[in-house]
Amino acid sequence: MFKHLTAKEITDQLGGKIVGDTETLVTGIGSLQNANKNQITFFSDPKLIEFARACEANIVITTFEHSEKLRSGLTKIIVDEPYFYFSQVLTIMAVDTVKEGLISQTAAIGNEVVLGVGCSIGHHSVIEDLSEIGDGVKIGALSFIGQAVKIGRNTVIGSGARVLDGSEIGENCIIHSGAVIGADGFGYVQQSGQWKKVPQVGRVIIGDGCEVGANTTIDKGAIDDTVISARVKIDNQVQIGHNCIIGEDTIIAGCVGIAGSVGIGKNCRVGGAAMFTGHLVVCDDVDVSAGSLVSKDINVSGRYTGVYPLSEHGAWKKNAVLIRHLSDLKRRIRELEVSLSNLQEK
């Protein structure tokens, strides 16, 4: 569901210059390829010019440079960063379906729980004893909030999420459905050939402005805390092990696995399905390509890739044989170089 807004109402809130009818009305949003005459979209990629020229949207957000390439009579909002501006339009047009301050009669709220002003708690959700829920927090149906949990103001907990005992979540965060925050880390010690569980007594601390995707799991620390710093964005189905520390403004794509005690710096980008072995340190401003295995420290900023290229299976098997013998091949080449050098001297 979306609010109905005119071009002027949009620019009054977000800025930008209107070219065309300021009273052009939109009732929804759409992609450049599929938007209809009642919707707003954006155009920033020159490779999509054919779609832009044929676009039927009532309003197109674009740059001054690209605006002249669009059909005449179309209402345009001129900005420097169309995609970012479009994301802000989505924010102001979206209708919040959760009623502020509504606490379901089926919610179970424990003893000495502090609820801030305007909290919303969905059907059959549970909040255990001693938890503190900040102003404007929204907790979806069937969610579980454990004992002594702290959730900062205006944070949203999706339906069916689990925030377990002692966890702390900052302000303006989003925890999507099915996420589990604060389960036991994978800690065992072997004794007499058997694995014995090591109690996990740390917590999970999530900073302000973070987002945690659906079915992502963040384990609590074994002794010290697992820390997700401010404004970190984590996609769906990510595993973050105990005692990890993720630096500010890092973004992690889906299906990444991070073993315990890994430290990842600020402003890093981790591609989907990348894997980190335990007890690593990754410095600030590092990009890890999708599918890569990080098995040692990264101490210099830059982009790192550890993905063997996809190939036809028969060719892959032949190449894999060569890779297994690279060390031997290097030695033989070195011997040939020495032999050739000796012949040239004679």
Active-site residue list = 242
DSSP letter string, 14-67? H--EEES-TT-EE-EE--TTT--TTEEEEE--GGGHHHHHH---SEEEE-HHHH
Residue 9, helix vs strand vs coil: helix
Contact by Cβ (8 Å): 120, 99: yes
Amino acid residing at 59: I
Could you give phi then psi for residue 227, rounded to 5 degrees?
Answer: -125, 125
Of 188, 8, 15, residue with least CA distance to 88: 15
Pairing assessment for the beta strands 59-62 and 239-240 based on DSSP bridges: unpaired
d(CA 189, CA 56): 63
The partner residues of 227 in beta bridges, in order of sequence, read 205, 245
Distance in Å from the first CA to the final CA of the chain? 85
Residue 172, helix vs strand vs coil: coil
